[in-house]
Structure 1
Amino acid sequence: MQCAMQLMHMPIGHYFKNCVEKYPNNIAVIDSGDGSSLTWKELDQISDRYAKSFLSLGLRKSDRILLWMGNRIEWVIIFIAAVKIGVIPSGLNVQYEKDEIDYIIRSSGAKAVFFADGFRDNDHPSILKSIISETGKKEGESGRLPLFIHVGKSCCGSFLNFTSILSFENKFSGKLDEYTEINPLDTASILYTSGTTEHPKGVMLSHKSLVNNSYFTGIGLKLSAKDRLCLAVPFSHCFGISAGLLTCIGAGTTAVLVGLFKPKDVLEAVRKYRCTALHGVPTMFQRLLEHPDFPQSDLSSLRTGIVAGAACPSKVLEGIVNRLGMSELVVAYGQTETSPGCTQTDPDDSLAVKASTVGRPLPFVEMRVVDPETGLECPPGVKGELCTRGYHVMRGYVGQPDQTAAVIDAGGWFHSGDCGFVDEDGRFHFESRLKEIIVRGGENISPAEIEKAIMSIDAVRDVRVYGVPVDVYGEEIAASICLKPGYHLDKDELQKYLKGKISWCKIPKFVEFCDNFEVLSSGKVRVSALRHRMEQTIAGLCAAAGTEKAAGVGGSINK
């Protein structure tokens, strides 16, 4: 397979132009929310206009911009316009609260922030106004702020409007070609991912890594210009931007955008636009299968798509293949740091293979399993740490050389922190995580960030946050808390305090209060013992309720 293929050495702008030349009049993108669409030629033309406007506003190669909104056509236009001139876009999670977005704005050095109205009760304009008013009041801050550009039809106070900045286009007198000398090894995008550190880390991915990874992902899916891919996976995730939007560009596939994941909206988008492919994490697919509109929804157009982001229960996998009709479903494995794809099953693999493995490496991707203690490669069938090397590995974490060196060794191997093995047929198996990261519904969540928020409560003496297994989300957030003598705190008070300080999905659903934590000889708290006790307690409650496993939606424990 690799002998018949070659790695492409081009920036995303050229990758996109190739698609435009092949399929100028084909529909490139459809916004399922309002039905608006653009052909590849129209997308090329409008993104050129915005690229000129960006240059007139002072944006230049290597400058960084932030996109804080759901999946929509404007997101695509901004991204394409930016990468054409070497500006580096970063998609941000719409669930970020004030402290989270404030940290990224300040630490990224972004020159512009493009934002929409918000998500649920998370009012983006109000949050940004608050940040603006407070900037300069904090010790050590220069008070310098990026441009804030509102994306939406309505006026948003004194903020610049996305449509109105096209008026700056005429102030640009040069040629875009003069600004498109981009090295494929340059950083194309920075994506933020949570880990065991307190704040999200910015992952630098090159043009070359994103172009090739997205292209080979599409080849593995057998996508073509005749397909339509429904994208409810957020563009703030590498899954959405690389395996989604950029894969569509590589194959000429139409991208059907769903602003924010809602089962009803996804079912309707697939039905209305006859989507042939659908990406998602296991939780998304499970919610589709359980939705009351599912039995009446015509999803007969579906044939393929990717399930990734977390381990997929076999029952959910069977439902995707047999009930959703995605007979050519692909199971994939990867991380943000690897653009993201490392391995994929084949569309023609049996259900048994897809249920038990994450497939073989993509072209030009090296994979191996090593003993985390000795560093020696493990033979087939022996569990160890999954490691990968190749064009797809990130350039590093922004401003964190030590963190980068901790995961990429001298030989160029990226150490995933995941446990698994390779079988005799060369297929890889994902078992569990060696890291402390919690994966809730495909969302990476840092325990350290939640622990910091809880520790800001006067009553709390110590806290440990960890994940516990649940059916719907794969893992749910649990917290074990030690209170100071004479203080009181209950679960409801804790959750009320955390609301608005951290994203709702990070607020612990299972809580226990302890007198003390068991400490190892090293001085570290034995988190495994806390997790085991919590799992036993949850299992007891589930047994009493007559269920097999906690649903993880609203259930809590307050010991």
Structure 2
Amino acid sequence: MTHPHPPNSGSGVDVNPAAAVARNARHFGDSTVISYAGGDLTYAQLDLKAARLATVLADGGVGDGDRVAYLGLNSASFLVTMLASFRLGAVFVPVNFRLAEPELHSVLQRSGATVLVCEEGHRASAEHVRAATPLSRFLLIDDDPDVPATEGVTGWELWSGPIAAAQPFPSVAARTFDDPAILMFTSGTTGLPKGVILTYGNAWWNSVNVDAMLDTRRGDVTYAAAPLFHIGALNSFALRTLVRGGTVVVRRQFDPVRFLDDLVTHRVNSMFAVPAMLAALSRVPGVFDADLSHLRSVVVAGAPVPPSLIELYASHGILLQQAWGLTETAPFATHLPAEHTLRKLGSAGIPMPHTQVRVVDATTNQPLKPGEAGEIVVRGPNVTPGYWENPEATAAAFDDEGWFHSGDVGYLDEDGCLFIVDRLKDMIISGGENVYPAEVERALSAMPGVVDVAVVGSPDEQWGETVVAVVSPVEGTTVTLDDVREYAATQLARYKLPRKLKIVQDLPRNASGKLDKTVIRRLAEEEG
């Protein structure tokens, strides 16, 4: 028997999240989708506002493939702008709000964005760099009580008026797996940020991986206090929650006391967090006496997770699930199931169901045996197709077999669990020996009297490089180099022990929660 039409593989199905939100608005319109201090939104309200903003953007010439940039903190407006862009088939460009002006200019110029949606707190920076970019339209958010706008600003449109006057855009662009959805620039702490193209398929396949591995459910409440311009916060749970009909509690920025209150009050089920957030939460008085029984899925990533932090939460019945990935993997390539949290303490987990991960020799590209450290490479439908208008960087990142080379060093154990060692480029070569800063940082992370620690290499005439510990101590506590070396010596070989110590009040981190090693190296070189 022959079929008149070949079987449909599903590759042409519409996977636009804006279509899913429209569907939820139709069937569950009164359900709260965004809980936000500046004003909650139901699904019907979110879909209507996004549809009206889509008309505003389309009237200004935005269409299929055009870029729409957003500059501001976490807010309902961030998600409205993203969905309006998706509705038109435009590419959403969430901008790191902590960028210095030269970096901001680079991102806005290189993205080719023609429209910028901006909060008042970032308007001045945008004005300083706008002249040398393709931007031609500037919308200033003026309907968020948390971000009052300045009226009568030359060259800016207050966005509430046009949105209120617009008719809802009547359709949602159908998007398939290969269509670009988001252009997200890497943090750039080690060089010029690269624009990572994330397709609708990348986002969709990550959601399939997450649904397969984590205890998430339709109607869940998720928490978004980590910056949404970062792929971990946006695509781990927030975007997936909009699609599935749940509620996203959006906070403009992280505050540990507010964090605890929100977890209890909103009965949060899932969240993405960087280790620094959970370390701060653990220091809030009464945190482990609070009712957090509804918290089922806590994914920790974005920076190395101290085993002592995992053990602390586990002792109070909260199993942190470490994951590993990058912007380029949208975001998760591996995840450690909750059942293995303590049995595989410190592991970043096993490959996601639809993602391949292996460890290779960085020189020969040959797979390594269990226990041997090398570069982690990834292949799968959640991996970016490449870098925006940067074929050289794309060619350098992918090998002939389609494996994406992460630049991270790790090893797989006998059970196939991944352990992260460090970044290739952060490795210190001291006296001919390889020292991975992350290993030393992990050893020192639980040291009494230490709040935060970073390890970097410093030029040394005798050793080539020497190991420097940059430490933020508990207020009123004195930490000496001898203290640091004595504590680390119980866990590390002598050649890995710090030979220099720098005390600082706070360690600089980027908006993704990662240690800013460029700034830290400068701190390590300063006298005093």
Residue 461 of structure 1 is matched in structure 2 by none
Residue 95 of structure 2 is matched in structure 1 by 92
Q: 1:11 is matched with which residue: 12, 16, 40?
A: 16
Q: What are the Cα deviations for residues 321-366 of structure 1, in whole angstroms up to 9, with x where unaligned?
A: 334x434x3211111011111011223334222x232222112211
Whole-Å separation in 2 of the counterparts to 1:14 and 1:437: 45
Farther-moved stretch of structure 1 (65-74 vs 421-430)? 421-430
| Residues 237 and 72 of structure 1, relative CA distance in 2, 3 Å threshold | same
Per the normalisation by structure 2, the TM-score is 0.78
Residue 331 of structure 1 is matched in structure 2 by 322
After superposition, residues 179-328 of structure 1 pair within 5 angstroms as: 180-195=173-188, 198-292=191-285, 294=287, 297-323=290-316, 325-327=317-319
| Residues 278 and 541 of structure 1, relative CA distance in 2, 3 Å threshold | same
Whole-Å separation in 1 of the counterparts to 2:25 and 2:268: 21
After superposition, residues 392-541 of structure 1 pair within 5 angstroms as: 392-436=382-426, 469=441, 471=445, 476=454, 518=461, 526=464, 529-530=465-466, 532-533=467-468, 541=480
Letter in 2 for 1:166: I
Residue 449 of structure 1 is matched in structure 2 by none
Number of aligned residue pairs:
463
Pair 1:164 & 2:161 matched: yes
| Residues 248 and 398 of structure 1, relative CA distance in 2, 3 Å threshold | same
| Residues 155 and 207 of structure 1, relative CA distance in 2, 3 Å threshold | same
Pair 1:553 & 2:522 matched: no
Whole-Å separation in 2 of the counterparts to 1:213 and 1:474: 31
Farther-moved stretch of structure 1 (389-398 vs 159-168)? 159-168
Pair 1:126 & 2:124 matched: yes
CA-CA distance at 1:14 after TM superposition:
3.6
Local SS of the residue matching 2:102: helix
| Residues 100 and 301 of structure 1, relative CA distance in 2, 3 Å threshold | same
In structure 2, the gaps of 5 or more residues are 1-8, 429-436, 489-501, 508-522
Contact 1:418/1:431, CA 8 A, preserved across alignment: yes
| Residues 534 and 228 of structure 1, relative CA distance in 2, 3 Å threshold | closer
CA-CA distance at 1:276 after TM superposition:
2.0
Residue 370 of structure 2 is matched in structure 1 by 380
- Please give the root-mean-square deviation of Cα atoms over the aligned residues, in Å: 3.4
Local SS of the residue matching 2:117: strand
Contact 2:321/2:341, CA 8 A, preserved across alignment: no
Whole-Å separation in 1 of the counterparts to 2:105 and 2:318: 41
Farther-moved stretch of structure 1 (7-16 vs 218-227)? 7-16
Q: What are the Cα deviations for residues 73-111 of structure 1, in whole angstroms up to 9, with x where unaligned?
A: 111111111112111112122212222212212222211
Letter in 2 for 1:176: S
Contact 1:11/1:208, CA 8 A, preserved across alignment: no
| Residues 546 and 426 of structure 1, relative CA distance in 2, 3 Å threshold | closer
Q: 2:342 is matched with which residue: 351, 376, 394?
A: 351
Moved over 6 A (4+): 5-8
Whole-Å separation in 2 of the counterparts to 1:363 and 1:272: 34
Pair 1:360 & 2:358 matched: no
Whole-Å separation in 1 of the counterparts to 2:24 and 2:212: 15
Residue 332 of structure 2 is matched in structure 1 by 341
Residue 71 of structure 1 is matched in structure 2 by 74
Q: Identity rate of aligned residues, in percent?
A: 25
CA-CA distance at 1:416 after TM superposition:
0.9
Contact 1:218/1:248, CA 8 A, preserved across alignment: no
Letter in 1 for 2:423: R
CA-CA distance at 1:558 after TM superposition:
1.6
Whole-Å separation in 1 of the counterparts to 2:125 and 2:468: 39
Q: What are the Cα deviations for residues 470-494 of structure 1, in whole angstroms up to 9, with x where unaligned?
A: 74887648696xxxxxxxxxxxxxx
Whole-Å separation in 1 of the counterparts to 2:191 and 2:462: 22
In structure 1, the gaps of 5 or more residues are 119-123, 136-140, 439-465, 481-515, 521-525
| Residues 262 and 415 of structure 1, relative CA distance in 2, 3 Å threshold | same
Local SS of the residue matching 1:44: helix
